[in-house]
Structure 1
Amino acid sequence: MRDTRESRLLLVLLVVIAFALITVDIRGGEESPVDGARRAAAAAFGPIENGVAAAVDPVGNAIGAVRDSGERHTRIAALEHENAALKAKLGSDDRNRSRVAELDGMLKKAGAGQYGIKAAEVIAIGAAQGFSWTVTIDAGADDGIKRDMTVLNGAGLVGRVTTVGPSTATVLLANDPDFTVGTRLEKTSELGFATGQGNGPLLVQLLNGKAKVKPGDRLVTFGSHGSKPFVPGVPVGEIVRVDPMGGGLTRNVYIRPYVGFTKLDIVGVVVQAPRTDPRDMVLPPKPAKPRPVPTVTVTVTPPPPGQEQQGQQPQGQQPTDGQTER
């Protein structure tokens, strides 16, 4: 249809009629005069609408599925994030439990030896002084830490304090080659001096070259005058090797330290020495030896010669006259 003046007037007229019918329908409500026409149109066009809806529904379902899929992906991502956060928290909780156990072990050691300690955390390794085996702790002069104080943890001897600042201190570890501590052998009280050897076992020179020692024997600190730098009774380690006895005045043995110097975390600085030497009381209890399995011995006693069991025939003997072999 061409765009003429008559067609534009017709279009305007149709629009006006449509608005008029809409107004009448709204005002009439359920008694609207066009309600019959609406029902007739619904009856006529309903089947067509149902067919179109049936054709369009799969597409609508697919769109809904894509939309729901996006929502599920968003939810999955949120759940994965929450799961990662929970795993991180669980790992943190595991570490906290480990540190609590370490602190508990250290407090038990301090209690057994009657040491007054100040707990600290290792915050750095190495130091400006050039020592090869040192750590820095987060306690210093403000916490009552002084030079030449013994440092321990739940396993045993860690080292001694060498440098003190207001809030930090440097600890020389017992495995440093410049570290030496007096030791005492468990039970026999044989004395010696332990020296660090880096990653290797500690070297102990026993003063008695004829001392009877064997692998598994344990050593503790002998203690220093005035308990500085070492308090007595702190576990050092156990013997793993004994050098053959030579003609020297001393004897060399090698001990495995109780402390793992590469994984230090919580330590305690002994700020108050014990009133009496705890001797071997701080050493951990030795593991119980397994009980031997009893063996059962069965002894068979043969019958006396000439006596045979009743109802039995000697092997190889033939039946005599008047006897029937069964």
Structure 2
Amino acid sequence: MRDTRRARLILGLLLAVALVLITIDHRQRDDSLFEPARSAAASLFGVAERAGTDVAKPVGDFIDTFASAPESKRRLALLRAENARLRQELTAHSLDRHRSAELTRMLGLSGLGGYRVVAAQVIARRGVPGFEDAVEIDAGTGDGIRSEMTVLNGDGLVGRVVHTSPATSTVVLLTDPASSAGARLEGNSQVGVVTGLGPVAGGRLIRFRLLDAAAPLTAGRRIVSFGSQHGMPYAPGLPVGTIQHVEATPGELTRVAYAKPFVDFTALDVVGVVVRAPQRDPRDAMLPPPPPVASKARAATPPATTPTAPPSSSPPTASPTPSTTVRDQGGERPRAARERGSGTSRQPVRARRARMPQRPAQARPAGPRQQPAGTRERPEARKHDQAGERT
């Protein structure tokens, strides 16, 4: 539009009209003549504003996302690092609790037997020339550990030290085929030798060879370490395992059995190295209490009841009387046989004897009766004498 006198005049008139309308609308307020127009304009412009907002908002959000992307990435990286740190701390706390429990059990077992031990942790599995199953621990000569010392954990015998360094030591496990240890049956002095079976058995079984072929050997018996001089390489009294089955070896001088070790050799963590063995053999004091399987089975089994005979309607029969011996003319025979032969009961016989006439008692000299020489006693007199003695 050109800046002319006419254009300026029209603009001035429009401004004047606007000022007049604003003044009139302000003075009348609610009764203003422009209220319907204002409402219509508000409705129209409201719809236009909403439509513009719906169109412009996604575009604005998209632009804001690009603008704030570096900050979001930085915050996401911080959250991921915090999450990893918390997860690591949780795992470390769990391992610490597990190791604390293992250490407590190991110290409790060694204290029960009177052993002086140095605690260590298994840090690696390694191979040693001449041995197939060995581990590395984080304790060495700086901690007072020497070769040929016994290694245990909270369950029992683990193995022995074969090599040492200032900070680490190598332990050959009891499951190694080249490892042998003296062992003894629980509760007696029958000794034998325990050897490992290597990776074939996976640490689940060991071989126990009992030196006495005549000694009883059954499944379920437990074995402990027999010990060596000065407790090296094996200390006495350490739990070794439980016999699972016995191998038939007819004609051999020894008996062979396979035992399950108390120690889980696939999950070794905290161990203890015996630096001083006890002065006295703890014998079977370190064995865990046997599982109460038998007592539970006995408790679960109901007591056996004796079946009672059904009542009988027949009268009870008299028990046979013990046969007594009486003297008769023909010699001695049981009284019951006499009663059966005569067909009479004992009571009638007694009554009949009571009715028999009694002979008057005659004074007889003490001692056996003397008969004149050349005389013979009559049978009738003997019978009467015997009848009088019976009555």
TM-score, length basis structure 1: 0.72
CA separation in 1, counterparts of 2:87 and 2:225? 43
Q: Which has the higher contact order (CA 8 A, sep 6+)?
A: 1
Aligned to 1:275: 279
Choose which of 48, 55, 78 in structure 2 pairs with 1:52.
48
Task: Write the mapping of 1:6-17 to structure 2, written as runs, cut at 5 A.
Answer: 6=3
Mapping for residues 57-136 of structure 1, pairs under 5 Å: 57-59=53-55, 89-136=89-136
* Structure 1 partner of 2:379: none
Q: 5 Å matches for 1:192-203?
A: 192-199=192-199, 200=201, 201-203=205-207
Structure 2 equivalent of residue 240 of structure 1: 244
| Corresponding residue SS for 2:172 | strand
Aligned-partner Cα distance in 2 for 1:116–1:165 = 20
Q: Does structure 1 retain, via aligned residues, the 8 Å contact 2:128–2:134?
A: no
Q: Which piece of structure 1 moves more, 123-132 or 266-275?
A: 123-132
**Following the alignment from structure 2 to structure 1, what is the Cα–Cα distance between the partners of residues 57 and 186?**
82
How far apart in 1 are the matches of 2:118 and 2:259? 28
Residue equivalent to 1:302? 311
How far apart are the structure 2 equivalents of 1:221 and 1:261? 17
Cα displacement (A) at 1:51: 2.3
Structure 1 residue 78: deviation in Å?
Answer: 8.6
Structure 2 SS opposite 1:210: coil
Is the CA contact (8 Å cut-off) linking 1:210 and 1:245 kept in structure 2? no
Which structure has the larger Rg? Answer: 2
- In structure 2, the residue corresponding to 1:172 is in which secondary structure? strand
Corresponding letter in the other structure for 1:278: P
| In 1: Cα distance, 2:135 partner to 2:24 partner | 95
- 8 Å contact 1:109–1:282 — kept in the other structure? yes
Segments of structure 1 that go 5 or more residues without pairing to the other structure are: 22-32, 307-326
Q: Distance in 2 between matches of 1:271 and 1:34?
A: 109
Aligned length: 282
1:170 Cα deviation (Å)?
A: 0.4
Relative distance call for 1:216 and 1:60 in structure 2 (3 A) is farther
Q: Secondary structure at the match of 2:258?
A: strand
Q: Do the aligned partners of 1:223 and 1:232 also contact (CA within 8 Å) in 2?
A: yes
Q: Partners of 1:191 and 1:76 in 2: how far apart? A: 66
Identify which range, 35-44 or 245-254, moves more after superposition: 35-44
Question: Structure 1 CA distance, aligned partners of 2:189 and 2:104?
Answer: 29
1:303–1:248 CA distance, 2 compared to 1 (3 A): closer
Q: 1:278 to 1:46 in 2, by over 3 A?
A: same
| Percent identical | 41
Select the structure that is richer in helix.
2
- 2:213 is matched with 209
Deviation at 1:177, TM superposition (A): 1.1
SS in 1 for 2:123: strand
Q: Tell me if the contact between 2:130 and 2:178 (Cα under 8 Å) persists in the aligned partners.
A: no
Q: Counterpart of 1:167 in 2: which secondary structure? A: coil
Deviations 1:98-117 (A, max 9, x none): 22222222112111111111
Q: Separation in 2 of the partners of 1:153 and 1:223?
A: 17
Paired with 1:130 and 1:37, the residues of 2 have a C-alpha distance of 113
CA gap of 1:56–1:225, structure 2 versus 1, over 3 A, is same
Shift of 1:145: 0.5
Q: C-alpha separation between the residues in 2 aligned to 1:84 and 1:149? A: 41
Separation in structure 2 between the aligned mates of residue 278 and residue 296 of structure 1, nearest angstrom: 41
Distance in 2, matches of 1:304 and 1:78, equals 97
Q: Specify the alignment match of 2:235 in structure 1.
A: 231
Asked whether the equivalents of residues 127 and 170 of structure 1 are also in contact (C-alpha less than 8 Å), the reply is no
Distance 2:55 2:84 in 1: 37
**Separation in structure 2 between the aligned mates of residue 218 and residue 83 of structure 1, nearest angstrom:** 49
Q: TM-score, normalised by structure 2?
A: 0.61
